[in-house]
Chains A and B, each alone.
Chain A
Amino acid sequence: MNAPHDPSSVGAATAQKAHFSAPLRLRGGAELPGFDLAYETYGTLNAAKSNAVLVCHALNASHHVAGYYEKEKDNIGWWDNLVGPGKPLDTNRFFVIGSNYIGSCFGSTGPASINPATGKPWGADFPVVTVEDWVEAQRLLADHLGIERFAAVIGGSLGAMQALQWTLSYPERIRHSIVIAAAAKLTPQNIAFNEVARQAIMTDPDFHGGHYYDKGVVPVRGLRIARMIGHITYISGEAMSEKFGRLLRRGQPGFDFDVDFEVESYLRYQGDKFSTYFDANTYLRITKALDYFDPAADYGGDLTKALARAKAAFLVVSFKSDWRFTPARSREMVKALLDNRRIVSYLELDAPGGHDAFLLEDARYHAALRSYFANIEL
């Protein structure tokens, strides 16, 4: 097909893969004997190599941040509304890198990859990975691409945890950290949601303790339920009411257990869709990465001490309707940064989208990011 070219799109994107053959020691103690990291880039790295922006993705997304694939034109990058020529993160000015993480099911080495020690998929034997490990892998990618210092690292949710961790792991290698809809650690309530999702997967008879690849099955039921519970927490109650109300699919109650309410249909659809493309072992690991993230843990829970080594300037953004990662969690980070006299701006937007608001195109949100990026000197 020959769709008219959209000048604000980065156009056809190409997924790339970097291979690192040196073993990677993980925070959990295990060692990965070399790995692949999938990524995409948009725009051009300038001669001074000062215009690189790393985009970190959240739970179910990938390195496909913007544009489309030549062979899959409707596969649009997850942050395409933000990244492109003339968009808030302007690829005419910045060299943007979308990085995947290890443990993913989208091209980087993960549980479905072959374990060189056995010649079989890793499955349950793939180690638990953490946000710190992901940043370490991204650091190797930065070296590979010849980038000494990022102009900015940006992410939402789990991606924002990476943007924060970058300022702690490599304070000299990041000038700006843009931390959106995030928390410096999960609350027990958040961990509880993750545990329900994990239990749904692990108790699915098709899970086989994580070694389901060679059995020709997928723990579809577990994945569906995991995704459903996730979805409930990503959108606000208000947005759900507005979107679905108590609308009945069949016009009247069925007095049975087929889909009655619109919201049930939505959740089933989202669950079904997810279970066709996402890997259960990956889901278990990313929820663990979320649970374990807590940079203050090594400092007796003192976030101010934990963030003392950060040098970057920060933009922290939260959304009032986000009840999964509430504004109060963002204010904790802002306070710790202020205590350390770091450069920080904080936006608390009254946007309706819930946790997913960071993916949506709110005019104020995008205007702020546009201005912020425009003020980053190259």
Chain B
Amino acid sequence: MRPDQKAIVQWVPQGARVLDLGCGDGALLRALWQEREAPGYGVEIEDKEVLACVANDVNVLQVDLESGLSLFADGSFDCVILSETLQTIHRTEFLLREMLRVGREGIVSFPNFGHWSARLQIALGRMPVSEALPYQWYETPNVHHCTIADFEDLCRRIGIRIRERLVLHEGKPVTLLPNLLGSLAVYRCTNGSKP
């Protein structure tokens, strides 16, 4: 499992109902079931990943996140997870709102574009390629990169309340200058209006 997924497993309460958006092969959902007895569903669009979910005995729904979460009723999940998927979404704001409509809590992780290696590569005139950003510019599925500061700005602007933040680099927590030294950010958030 990826380091952000390990962190997510720790954050999900025992027995919580979870929805994993862009769930890939279902590894996180499987771990959540095994370690937290948290039942859930994954949403995934790629055939290959959907088939892997079925093989992994994970509930998967092959629908497009860009069209929203209309399959899911308001507040039907304890926890909605968007793990390293945010940067691939066109309608970012819309999906974040949808996420907190169907879930009491959201967990979002993304590669931090503010990490020094990305900054350095840009400074040297190149698009960043790294372990956290493993694609060449012409083949990347990512469309909306952001930094830790950018994401927190957006949350403030659209009324999402950040409850907890974990910044990682090579699987280890980063507390000093996180937007510069962290390559991966994980957030736990709720609707600002909720207590």
Q: Does B60 sit at the interface, judged by CB under 8 A?
A: yes
Asked if B59 and A345 sit within 8 Å, CB to CB, the answer is yes
Q: Which of A316-372 contact B (CB under 8 A)?
A: 331, 334-335, 338-339, 341, 343-350, 364, 367-368, 371-372
Asked if B63 and A368 sit within 8 Å, CB to CB, the answer is no
Q: Does B176 sit at the interface, judged by CB under 8 A?
A: no
Separation of A262 and B72 alpha carbons in the complex (Å): 46
The 8 A CB mask of B49-64 against A (1 = contact, 0 = none) is 0110111010111110
Asked if B76 and A338 sit within 8 Å, CB to CB, the answer is yes
The 8 A CB mask of A83-122 against B (1 = contact, 0 = none) is 0000000000000000000000000000000000000000
Q: Which of B69-102 contact A (CB under 8 A)?
A: 70-73, 76
Select A348's contact among B51, B54, B57, B63, beta carbons within 8 Å. Answer: B63
CB neighbours (8 Å) of A350 from chain B are 47
Q: Does B41 sit at the interface, judged by CB under 8 A?
A: yes
Separation of A345 and B71 alpha carbons in the complex (Å): 12
Asked if A345 and B63 sit within 8 Å, CB to CB, the answer is no
Asked if B53 and A345 sit within 8 Å, CB to CB, the answer is yes
Select A334's contact among B53, B54, B61, beta carbons within 8 Å. Answer: B61
CB neighbours (8 Å) of B50 from chain A are 347, 368
CB distance from A289 to the nearest CB of B (A): 28
Asked if A347 and B62 sit within 8 Å, CB to CB, the answer is yes
- Which A residue sits closest to B57, measured CB to CB? A375
- Which A residue sits closest to B55, measured CB to CB? A371
Separation of A343 and B59 alpha carbons in the complex (Å): 7
Asked if A338 and B41 sit within 8 Å, CB to CB, the answer is yes
- Which B residue sits closest to A372, measured CB to CB? B54
Select B59's contact among A344, A349, A371, beta carbons within 8 Å. Answer: A344
Q: Which of A251-292 contact B (CB under 8 A)?
A: none
Asked if A346 and B55 sit within 8 Å, CB to CB, the answer is no
Interface range on chain A (Cβ under 8 Å from partner): 20 to 34
How many chain B residues touch A (Cβ–Cβ < 8 Å)?
A: 19
Separation of A338 and B53 alpha carbons in the complex (Å): 17
Select A368's contact among B41, B54, B72, B73, beta carbons within 8 Å. Answer: B54
Known pairs A338-B71, A338-B72; A346 contacts B61 (CB<8 A): yes
Known pairs A367-B51, A368-B50; A346 contacts B72 (CB<8 A): no
Asked if A346 and B62 sit within 8 Å, CB to CB, the answer is yes
CB distance from A368 to the nearest CB of B (A): 5
CB distance from A250 to the nearest CB of B (A): 42
Asked if B54 and A345 sit within 8 Å, CB to CB, the answer is yes
- Which B residue sits closest to A367, measured CB to CB? B51
Separation of A339 and B62 alpha carbons in the complex (Å): 17
CB neighbours (8 Å) of A372 from chain B are 54
- Which A residue sits closest to B59, measured CB to CB? A345
CB distance from A358 to the nearest CB of B (A): 16
Separation of A350 and B61 alpha carbons in the complex (Å): 14
Separation of A371 and B63 alpha carbons in the complex (Å): 20
CB distance from B105 to the nearest CB of A (A): 18
Separation of A372 and B57 alpha carbons in the complex (Å): 7
- Which B residue sits closest to A313, measured CB to CB? B59
Separation of A343 and B57 alpha carbons in the complex (Å): 11
Asked if A331 and B71 sit within 8 Å, CB to CB, the answer is yes
Select B73's contact among A331, A334, A339, beta carbons within 8 Å. Answer: A339
- Which A residue sits closest to B64, measured CB to CB? A348
CB neighbours (8 Å) of B62 from chain A are 346-349
- Which A residue sits closest to B45, measured CB to CB? A348
Asked if B61 and A345 sit within 8 Å, CB to CB, the answer is yes
CB neighbours (8 Å) of B54 from chain A are 315, 345, 347, 368, 371-372, 375
CB neighbours (8 Å) of B60 from chain A are 345-347
Q: Which of B24-40 contact A (CB under 8 A)?
A: none
Asked if A364 and B51 sit within 8 Å, CB to CB, the answer is yes
Select B51's contact among A338, A339, A346, A368, beta carbons within 8 Å. Answer: A368
Separation of A346 and B54 alpha carbons in the complex (Å): 10
Separation of A109 and B89 alpha carbons in the complex (Å): 56
Separation of A275 and B158 alpha carbons in the complex (Å): 64
Known pairs A345-B53, A349-B47, A368-B51; A338 contacts B63 (CB<8 A): no
- Which A residue sits closest to B47, measured CB to CB? A364
- Which B residue sits closest to A376, measured CB to CB? B57
- Which B residue sits closest to A347, measured CB to CB? B62
A-B pairs with beta carbons under 8 Å apart, 29 shown: A315-B54, A331-B63, A331-B71, A334-B61, A335-B70, A335-B71, A338-B71, A338-B72, A338-B76, A339-B73, A341-B17, A341-B76, A344-B61, A345-B53, A345-B59, A346-B63, A347-B54, A348-B63, A349-B47, A349-B62, A368-B50, A368-B51, A368-B54, A371-B51, A371-B55, A372-B54, A374-B55, A375-B54, A375-B55
B residues lining the A interface (CB < 8 Å): 17, 41, 47, 50-51, 53-55, 57, 59-63, 70-73, 76
The 9 residue pairs across chains A and B that have the minimum distance between CB atoms: A371-B55, A371-B54, A375-B57, A346-B61, A348-B62, A335-B71, A368-B54, A345-B60, A347-B62
- Known: A346-B62, A348-B63; 16 extra A-B contacts, CB below 8 A, are A331-B63, A334-B71, A335-B70, A335-B71, A338-B72, A338-B73, A339-B76, A345-B59, A345-B60, A347-B54, A347-B62, A349-B47, A364-B47, A374-B55, A375-B54, A375-B55
